[in-house]
Structure 1
Amino acid sequence: MQTASSLTFDTDLGSDVDDVLALATILGSPELDLSAITTVYGDTLVRARMAARVATVAGRSIDPIVPGRTETRSGRPVWWAGHEGALLPDLDRETVATDSDPIGVLAASPTVVAVGPLTNVAEAVERPGHQIEQLCVMGGDFLSADPEHNIKCDVDAAAVVFGSGVPATVIGIDQTSRLRLGGAVVAELEAAGSLGQLLGAEMRQFWSFSASDSNVPHDPAAVLMLTDPDLFTFATGRIEVDGDGITPFTPGDGPHRIVADLDAEAVAQRIVDRILVACAGSPTQVINGGGRSSGRDLLA
C-alpha cells in the first residue's frame, strides 16, 4: 500500500466507540497526514462535531471536518444507538464545515480511510476526475456468509465502491473480531490526560450499551493496515457484494486486498501505543514494534 500522503477519514463516529479510537490512532500516527474528516450515516452534524471535539482535546486542528450524507443510498433505515454525543456537552459550540461539499473533499483525497457505511465514498468514486488512489476500508466478512454492519447498512453503496475498480485494502469483521481491549487499557488511557479520559469514558459508555466488559477495535485495525502492514497477511483478488450485503472474495487478479490473517496481540498493542501518543501530544513517542505495550495484558 502506498504512503498516505494526504488522508481523509470517512466515519460514522459516535455510535460504536471504535470510530473515535480509530481517529485517536490516526492522530497518534505521525506518518499519516490527516487533511480532512467526513462523516456519514444518520445525524452527521453531531458526528462531525464529536470529531471536532476529539481533535480539539487532542490539541490538533483538522480542517475541514464536513458532515456528509445522512441517508443511505439503498434506502435502508439508519440505525441510531441514541448515545451519540451524550458525554460531550455543548457540542453545538464546535465549528465544522457545514457549507463544504463532503463528496468533493473525498474525491480530492488520494487516500480515504472509510470505517462506516460507504454512502459518501460511493458518490465520490462516481465523481468524474476523482483523485482517489487507494481506499482503506473496515467492512465485510470474508470467512462466513453473514453480512457485516457497515456493508449491510448501505448495500447499494458498497456494491458501487467495490465495483468501481478503485484499489481497496479491506479488513473484515472476521479478523477484527479477534481483537479486544479491556479494563487495563481503559485505566491506562484514563491516566493519560484529557484525551485519554474522553476515550475511556466513551469506551465505558459502549460497554454499558453492549453489555460487555471489553471493546473490539475494528476501525483502529483498519488504520494500522496503512501504518503497520507487516502485522497483517493480505490476499489479493476481487470483492463482490450481493443484495443481502454478503461479501464473497475471489482470490487472484483484482483491485482488492483483504486481510487473511493478523498478529492479534501485536495489532492490539500497536493500537494502544498509537492512541497513547495522541494522548500525550508527542508523536515522537511511537515505538516501532509496539515496544511500550509489549507484555501488557490488554484484557485485564
Structure 2
Amino acid sequence: MRQKIHLDTDIGGDIDDLCALAYCLRHPEVEWIAVTTVAEHGGRRAGYVRHVLHLAGRQDIPVAAGVEARWQGFRFEQPLPDEHDYWRGEISPFPTPLEQALDLLEASIRQGAHVVAMGAYTHLAMLEERQPGILADARITLMGGFVYPPRAGFPAWDFTADWNAQVDSASAHLVFERANPTLVPLAVTAETALRFAHLPVLERAGALGECLAHQARVFASAEQLAERYLPDCPALPSDFINFQHDPLACAAALGWSGLTFADLRLRVEMERGWVRLREDPHGRVFRVAVGVDGEAFAAHWLETVCR
C-alpha cells in the first residue's frame, strides 16, 4: 500500500540522510509529499535535496529550507563538509522563509502523510507551538530516542550520542511529550551498515547510485569510522563505511518487516540540559524499535536503491 511521506532532514553531513532520500525515491510504495531541511546554511541543504531530486528525475517534489544552523536553540554546531569533495562542484542553494517549511510540514500532516524526522526535531516543535495539538494525531517516526544502549559488539553509545534528540533537547522534550511517535533509536541503527561491498552495485545504478557511491568513498576517507569503531566493535563488518540510521527510520515508517517493535512505558525528563527517556510503569506508551536484522536490511536497502 502506498504511503505518503514527508522527510525532514539535515542532509549534507553524515551521508545516511542521502542514503535515506535515495531509498525513498526508489521505493515503490512511497507517495512523496515534501522535503524540508533543518539546521540550514542559507538554503544549501535544500539545494542538495533539489540536486538529488534532479538526479532521480523528481523535480516535482516540493522542497523548503527551514531553521538556520545558527539558531540559538541548537546545542552543537552543525557545519557542512566541503561541497566540492562531496558534490563534485558547487550546488545552487535554495533559501526559503522558515514559515514555508512549517507550512509544508503542516500541510503534510493534515494530508495524513508520515513524517520522518532525520535531524533535530525543531520543526515539529515549532509547528506544535504554532498549531497547539497538531502533533497528537500526526504520524511521526523519529530517528533517535535513546532507551537502551546498543548490544555488545556494537558501539558503546549512551544517551549523549543521541544527536537528533540532544542537538535541540528542548524541542525533543516537547515532541516526546506532545506527539505519539515511533522511535528508531541508536540501539538498533547501530546494527546497520553501509559497506564497501555495496559500492560497485551502486555505481551501476544510474546517476543517483553513482552519487551515493562517490559520497560514500569521500565520507569513508574523511570520517574514518571504520578505523574508529572496528577495533572495539567486532559485530561490525570489516568493510564498514557508515551506519544507516536514517534509512532504517524510513524503512520503519514504510513497514519493512525486518524490524521488531515493543510498546514501552517511558518517562520524559530533562537532566542538566539533556533530554532523557526512562522506563517507568507510569510513563506514556511509545512504540520503539528494539531489534533489527541488519544483514537483511542491507540487502533490502541496496535492492531498493538499485531498483
Distance in 2 between the 1:60 and 1:259 partners?
31
Indicate the residue corresponding to 2:24 in structure 1. Answer: 26
Structure 1 residues 127-165: Cα deviation after superposition (integer angstroms, max 9, x where no partner): 32637621111013221342211111111110111111x
2:189 corresponds to 1:176: yes
Indicate the residue corresponding to 1:254 in structure 2. Answer: 284
Indicate the residue corresponding to 2:105 in structure 1. Answer: 106
Structure 2 SS opposite 1:53 = helix
Distance in 1 between the 2:71 and 2:168 partners?
6
Shift of 1:7: 2.1
Shift of 1:14: 0.7
Structure 1 SS opposite 2:182 = strand
Amino acid at match of 1:105: L
Indicate the residue corresponding to 2:138 in structure 1. Answer: 133
2:268 corresponds to 1:240: yes
Shift of 1:231: 1.3
Indicate the residue corresponding to 2:234 in structure 1. Answer: none
Indicate the residue corresponding to 1:289 in structure 2. Answer: none
Indicate the residue corresponding to 1:154 in structure 2. Answer: 168
Distance in 2 between the 1:74 and 1:101 partners?
20
Distance in 2 between the 1:90 and 1:163 partners?
40
Q: Which moved more, 1:12-21 or 1:115-124?
A: 115-124
Structure 1 residues 27-75: Cα deviation after superposition (integer angstroms, max 9, x where no partner): 1112121111000014161110001100100111243210000144634
Distance in 2 between the 1:154 and 1:20 partners?
22
Q: Structure 1's 201 and 167: CA in aligned 2 closer, same or farther, altered over 3 A?
A: same
Shift of 1:197: 0.9
Shift of 1:194: 1.1
Shift of 1:177: 0.7
Amino acid at match of 2:29: E
Structure 2 SS opposite 1:7 = strand
- Tell me, yes or no, if the aligned pair for 1:162 and 1:241 is still in contact at 8 Å: no
- Tell me, yes or no, if the aligned pair for 1:47 and 1:84 is still in contact at 8 Å: no
Q: Which structure 1 residue ranges, 5 or more long, are not aligned?
A: 278-300
Indicate the residue corresponding to 1:209 in structure 2. Answer: 222
2:295 corresponds to 1:265: yes
Indicate the residue corresponding to 1:226 in structure 2. Answer: 253
Shift of 1:267: 1.6
Q: Which moved more, 1:140-149 or 1:61-70?
A: 140-149
Between the two proteins, the alignment pairs up a number of residues equal to 273
Distance in 1 between the 2:35 and 2:171 partners?
19
Distance in 2 between the 1:95 and 1:189 partners?
27
Indicate the residue corresponding to 1:293 in structure 2. Answer: none
Amino acid at match of 2:32: L
Indicate the residue corresponding to 1:275 in structure 2. Answer: 305
Q: Structure 1's 73 and 268: CA in aligned 2 closer, same or farther, altered over 3 A?
A: farther
Amino acid at match of 1:106: L
Q: Structure 1's 90 and 251: CA in aligned 2 closer, same or farther, altered over 3 A?
A: farther
Q: Which moved more, 1:204-213 or 1:16-25?
A: 204-213
Indicate the residue corresponding to 1:121 in structure 2. Answer: 124
Identity score, percent? 27
What TM-score, normalized by structure 2, do the two folds share?
0.81
Distance in 1 between the 2:25 and 2:255 partners?
15
Shift of 1:183: 0.9
Indicate the residue corresponding to 2:45 in structure 1. Answer: 47
Distance in 1 between the 2:20 and 2:281 partners?
28
- Tell me, yes or no, if the aligned pair for 2:199 and 2:213 is still in contact at 8 Å: yes
Structure 2 SS opposite 1:74 = coil
Shift of 1:249: 4.2
Q: Which structure 2 residue ranges, 5 or more long, are not aligned?
A: 150-157, 227-239
